[in-house]
Amino acid sequence: MPYLRQMSPRRRNPRNTAGVLASQDAPSRSSRVLLVGDDSGIDLLCGMLETLPRKARGRAFLEVATAADIRAVDAPGGVTVTWLTRDSRRDGLAMPGELLDRAVRAWLSEMIVTAEHAQDLSPWFAGDAYCIESLRRTIAAEQVGQA
C-alpha cells in the first residue's frame, strides 16, 4: 500500500500509525510545491495536482513502468509535471525509483540555492519505492519547508 509523506521534520503526527510526517502547510498554501511519487502513489498525487489552486507553482516527478501508464493530469499551469518511464532506458533495466531519485536530486541541486528557496517549497511524497524514504531524508537535511 502506498504511503504519503508530508514533509516537515518538526513533528511526527501521533495519530498516524503509517509514519507519515505532519506538514505545517498543505501544498495549496505553499509558494512552491514538489510532488514526488512512483506507480503506487500516482492516483493520490494526480488527485492532489488537480486540486491545487490554479496559481500554484512547482514541480511533480511521477515514475511509472511504461509510457502506457502516463495519464493526462489537469495540473495548474505553473506546475511542471514530469513523467519518468522505466522502460525508456535503452537497456530497459531501470529499477523502481532509480529515475525518480536521479531526477529529484538533479532538480533540487538546481532549484535550492538559498535557505529562502528551501523554506518556500512544500514537498509531498507518495509511493513504495525505496528512494522515497531516501529523498525524504535528503530534503529534511536541506531543511526544505522549514521556516
**104-144 pLDDT per residue, tens:** 989 988 876 566 666 778 888 998 877 788 888 877 776 66
In a domain, 15, yes or no: yes
In a domain, 100, yes or no: yes
In a domain, 146, yes or no: no
In a domain, 69, yes or no: yes
pLDDT confidence band for 82 (50 / 70 / 90): very high
Residue 132 β-bridge partners: none
Q: How many domains does one find in the chain?
A: 1
Q: Which residues contact 19 (CB under 8 A, 6 or more apart)?
A: 3, 12
* Residue 117 lies in domain: 3-141
Looking at 56-129, list the stretches that DSSP marks H as alpha helix, in order from N- to C-terminal side: 98-111, 115-119
In a domain, 147, yes or no: no
> The domain that contains 20 carries what CATH number?
3.40.50
